[in-house]
Structure 1
Amino acid sequence: MSPITCLIAEDEPLLAEALAAELASAWPDLQLLGVAPNGLAAVEQALARRPRVLCLVIRMAGRCGGDAATALAEDWPDDAGPLPLIVFVTAYDEYALKAFDAAAVDYVLKPVQAPRLAQTVQRLQARWAQRQSLPPTDDPLQALQRLLAAHAQPANATPKLRHLQAAVGDAIELVPIDALLYLEAADKYVRAVTADQDYWVRVSLRELLPQLDPERFWQVHRSTVVNIDAVARAQRLDNGLVKLSLRGRPDTVMVSRVHAARFKAQ
């Protein structure tokens, strides 16, 4: 049986070293793959090395642990097996519930204490044993991927929009849906991009999606929807992503692995 591997994501070297030492003591058979120095590196290294366990610090440079976990759930390759078992490491107890909401196995507080980490190791080992006995389709983290993919297919029963109402100074401008090249989520707003101008609309992308024609507006990332009629070229990249070039604007739009299969040669 291949060893269970672990990647640590921590931007403070001394804390990363301490966590690695405590993990080695609590779980001698665990194979440490290394330490990612920030959230972006955590996603890149996890996708490249495919650890079985991932220890993510909530607050760190480059991308917070929660965002890194979400990005992994979206970009994890279909042929890579189940997503890593995630443990969040935080100095703030209020992040505990958020950790479990993000499908983490457990969380530990900084500075990591050996007795508490031993409990986490027991939970990881139990979850790993459970995962080995379940069919792949029953894995709860694989279910998260299916949920992300399902959001790309909004219900057809909802009436479709013809215009977006965007605030421009003291006025409200009606932006024709046909003029949109792509939409990008940004906190409580959506950035609506046309060939000539960007508009900010106070609505969430989740609310907006069911009101768009799914034949024309494709979700290509958890935060991006593109008007397929505006796509001039789709380029497949070595890392499994797809880069879209648009008609009438120099912007490029990235397609995550979850949605990349929609762009293939006929």
Structure 2
Amino acid sequence: MSLPTSPAAPSAVLADDEPHLLRVLQDRLRELWPELRIVGLASNGVEAAEQIASLQPDVAFLDIQMPGLSGLEVAQGIEGPTRVVFVTAYDQHALEAFEHEALDFVLKPVRAERLQRTVERLQRLLQPAAQAASDDQLARVLQRLMQAQAPAASDPPPGLLRHVRASQGTQIHLIPVDEVLYFQSDDKYTAVRTAGSEYLIRTPITELLQQLDAEQFWQVHRATVINVDFVQTTRRDDNGRLLLRMRGLERELAVSRAYVHLFKAM
């Protein structure tokens, strides 16, 4: 659901799977921050991710628990300059990660006095001098929250993955992981991309990460893991997104803001 826009003031996308809470948040933001343009409303994580990618709002208010994608997963996939505020029912212990960070959170039910502090913090963050510092903070907060909500770890794999059994049409191929440029997941499959071809496996990214050498394979997006040995160059596009050029690959890969800090030394 896209709403009318005007070109000057800061913009926001709001996402919550509970329509009543979405309306309350929208009404209170209009009272506390009249200049804010609410350019999109989303009822699930997939809609939120699509709207953020297409509208590039200054701020996204994301419910953490949503169908399709959680608010954390949506935040992991943000490639542009959008700032994130989580709207959540998490208890205080889970929210300690936010206390000294530039990101913010709003507890449900949304209270005007708490939202006012969030608005004031966002207005400071949206000043040009403040924006560059918050990518690292986003990465730290997401890492802490993902760890907080992750299930207890199972026994570690006996060894690192050296080959993957991947399909291409009706054929099964044994692919050395050292030849893989990147892994990229969608809803059902994970693509295995080499310099010469592309194959499919059913193993999700989260499982692959547990089996791959962390020094060689880096997650750069919610759905993408790259082999850093194949990174050729990095650059910023006109929207400030970090893009990777991989050896043996024509198209560039986007790095979401949660992982930009990995490439600061490159």
Both proteins in one fold, TM over 0.5: yes
Which residue number corresponds to residue 86 of structure 1?
87
SS across alignment from 1:248: coil
Q: Point out which structure has higher relative CO (alpha carbons under 8 A, 6+ apart).
A: 2
Query: Aligned in 2, Cα 1:44/1:145: closer, same or farther, shift over 3 Å?
Result: farther
| 8 Å CA contact 1:7, 1:32 repeated in 2 | no
What's 2:176 paired with?
176
Q: 1:232 to 1:156 in 2, by over 3 A?
A: farther
Aligned residues: 209
Q: 1:43 to 1:197 in 2, by over 3 A?
A: closer
- In structure 2, the partner of 1:35 is 38
Unaligned runs of at least 5 residues, structure 2: 1-9, 42-47, 89-104, 121-136
Letter in 2 for 1:72: A
Q: Partner amino acid for 2:12?
A: L
Q: Where do 1:101-112 residues align within 5 Å?
A: 105-106=107-108
Alpha-carbon distance in structure 1 between the residues aligned to 2:167 and 2:252: 25
AA matched with 1:144: L
Per the alignment, in what secondary structure is the counterpart of residue 187 of structure 1? coil
Contact 2:12 2:38 in 1 (8 A): yes
**Cα gap change, 1:69/1:264 in structure 2, threshold over 3 Å: closer, same or farther?**
closer
Q: Is the 8 A contact 1:6 1:54 kept in 2?
A: no
Q: Does 1:7 align with 2:12?
A: yes
User: Which AA in structure 2 matches 1:23?
Assistant: D
The alpha carbon displacement at 1:222 in A equals 1.4
CA spacing shift, 1:144–1:247, aligned 2, 3 Å: closer
- Counterpart CA distance in 2 for 1:79 and 1:202 is 32
Match of 1:49 in 2: 58
Secondary structure in 2 matching 1:229: helix
CA distance in 2, matches of 1:34, 1:231: 38
**Which whole-Å deviations, capped at 9, do the CAs of 1:86-110 have from their partners, x for residues lacking one?**
38xxxxxxxxxxxxxxx9845xxxx
RMSD: 4.9
Query: Could you say which residue in structure 2 is the equivalent of 1:110?
Result: none
CA contact (8 A) 1:244 1:253 kept: yes
Q: CA deviation at 1:169?
A: 4.2
* Partners of 1:242 and 1:255 in 2: CA distance: 5
Q: 1:254 to 1:84 in 2, by over 3 A?
A: same
2:220 aligned counterpart, secondary structure: strand
Distance 1:84 1:172, change over 3 A: same
Measure, in 1, the Cα distance between the counterparts of 2:239 and 2:71.
Answer: 17
In the superposition, the TM-score normalised over structure 2's length comes to 0.58
Q: How far does residue 253 in structure 1 lie from its aligned partner after superposition? A: 0.8
Unaligned runs of 5+ in 1: 88-102, 107-119, 133-138
**Distance in 1 between residues matched to 2:231 and 2:156, nearest whole Å:** 23
1:86 aligned partner, one-letter code:
V
Amino acid at match of 1:255: V
Deviates more, 1:237-246 or 1:178-187: 237-246
SS in structure 1 at match of 2:36: strand
Name the aligned partner's letter for residue 262 of structure 2. R
> Structure 1's 231 and 121: CA in aligned 2 closer, same or farther, altered over 3 A?
closer
Which is helix-richer, 1 or 2? 1
Cα distance, 1:156–1:244 mapped onto 2, change above 3 Å? farther
After TM superposition, the structure 1 = structure 2 runs for residues 183-262 of structure 1, keeping only pairs within 5 Å, are 183-237=183-237, 239-262=239-262
TM superposition score normalised by structure 1:
0.58
SS of residue paired to 1:258: helix
